[in-house]
Amino acid sequence: MKRKFIRYSNTDYSFLIIVAILVVFGLVMLSSASSDLGKIKYGDSFYYLKHQLISGVLPGVLGFIFASLVNYKFWKKISLYFLILGIVLLLLVFTPLGITAYGSQRWINISGFSFQPAEIVKLALITYMASWLSKNYKKQKGFTESTLPFLIILILVTLPIFLQPATTTALLLVLSTLVMYLTAGANLKSLAFTFLVMLLIFIVLVVTTPYRFQRIFNFLHPQNDVLGKNYHLNQLLMAIGNGGLWGVGYGKSTTKIFYLPEPMSDSIFAVIGEELGFVGSVLLIMMFLFLIWSGIKIAKRTEDPFGRFFVIGGVALIGFQAFIHIASISGLLPPTGVPLPFISYGGTSLATLLTTSGIIFKISKG
């Protein structure tokens, strides 16, 4: 009998392996993307790498280990409390504990320790939605029994995120939970109604906030004000173009020093495109596709509804986030501040993603 590669019993180790590859690749690219900026700002080329190891990798690995050891149904039991905690943390952003940076209020600082509540809320909402859907997906899919509660939960969580403002993060949560809702058997009318309500809220927020409207306008007219409002968008495209087929070589990006906004986080795919070229970019995209495919396989063979919905939500979140980051850097979507999963600088994001991956891995083990 032939043995299947990277598979033992019911556990699919391919998911674990691809996560590990992405984390290591992310640290390698972060080192390159942030070295010049770290030296200029802090006199240490490895400043951002060290910080990522301490605030992202270390707590993330601990979270992964914890999640992969405890019964995954533990998360179902605490899902409501976890969501409430996440909403409270979101509201604390608007108190004196909140930190304002780059025109947004997205961080909390407690005794010198800062983190982004929205990243924690991603895991909290996926967990709660998986729990809620697992209890309700077999019931009659009426408006008051299903659609209205789902919509209320979604608005309660995403509205504070919209107000930070972190529009794309809110959009990510909407898309991910809609995928969960769809796979739980929601009828098309309920799904369409929920989508239209959230779309209406999004349009109102864009129209009533000049910076959001201006960002979309600039995206639609990239040839206007190339040295002003569209400067960064054009620099992102130039960086990718400079990479050509094979790239200029690791560590040799010329645009990351002064021309790209936040090269170690918001623009890291542009650095990857310039240094590793089209080939390196495609290989990275393939890794994300393989991760999504591995997650879908886990979800398909998971009999427990909570576990299945959690895997779907977690994989959808990673997939949508990767797509939006890459698409915005490539000029297919307006530029956003969404990090590239497992790759971009950001301790809270990496730690939460690794914990989410640990839960998915535990679910794959049954």
| Largest distance between two CA atoms of the chain | 65
Q: What is d(CA 301, CA 278) in angstroms, rounded to the nearest whole number?
A: 35
Q: What is the pLDDT of residue 114?
A: 83
Q: How confident is the model at residue 7 (pLDDT cuts 50, 70, 90)?
A: very low
Q: What is d(CA 295, CA 308) in angstroms, rounded to the nearest whole number?
A: 10
Sign of CA dihedral 121, 122, 127, 131: positive
Angstrom CA distances, 79 to 121, 128, 230, stand at 11, 5, 42
75 inside domain: yes
Domains contained in the chain, number: 1
Percent residues over pLDDT 90 in the chain = 55
306 inside domain: yes
Non-local CB neighbours of 40 within 8 Å, separated by 6+ positions: 257
**Amino acid present at 333:** L
Buried b (16+ CB within 10 A) or exposed e, 11-40: bbbbbbebbeebbebbbebbbbbbbbbbee
Start-to-end Cα distance in the chain: 24
What pTM does this model have? 0.91
Q: What is d(CA 185, CA 102) in angstroms, rounded to the nearest whole number?
A: 41
**Amino acid present at 349:** S
Q: What is the pLDDT of residue 138?
A: 65
Q: How confident is the model at residue 309 (pLDDT cuts 50, 70, 90)?
A: very high
125 inside domain: yes
Cβ atoms within 10 Å, residue 59: 18
Q: How confident is the model at residue 1 (pLDDT cuts 50, 70, 90)?
A: very low
CA geometry: angle at 344 spanning 343 and 349, to 5°? 95
Torsion angle of the four alpha carbons 336, 254, 275, 286, in this order, in degrees rounded to the nearest 10:
10
Q: What is d(CA 81, CA 51) in angstroms, rounded to the nearest whole number?
A: 30
Non-local CB neighbours of 260 within 8 Å, separated by 6+ positions: 232, 235, 236, 239, 267, 270, 271
Q: Identify the residue whose tokens are 């809270």.
A: 348
232 inside domain: yes
3 inside domain: no
- 3-state SS assignment for residue 132: helix
Q: What is d(CA 329, CA 133) in angstroms, rounded to the nearest whole number?
A: 34
The string of pLDDT tens digits covering residues 201-255 is 888 877 777 777 777 777 776 666 565 566 777 788 888 989 999 999 999 988 8
Q: What is d(CA 2, CA 352) in angstroms, rounded to the nearest whole number?
A: 37
State the residue range of the domain holding 14: 10-365
Q: What is the pLDDT of residue 144?
A: 65
The string of pLDDT tens digits covering residues 63-109 is 999 999 999 999 999 999 999 999 999 999 888 888 876 667 788 88
Q: What is d(CA 351, CA 58) in angstroms, rounded to the nearest whole number?
A: 8
Q: What is the pLDDT of residue 10?
A: 53
Q: What is d(CA 356, CA 270) in angstroms, rounded to the nearest whole number?
A: 26
The string of pLDDT tens digits covering residues 152-163 is 899 899 989 988
82 inside domain: yes
Q: What is d(CA 157, CA 104) in angstroms, rounded to the nearest whole number?
A: 17
* Mean pLDDT computed over 277-284: 96
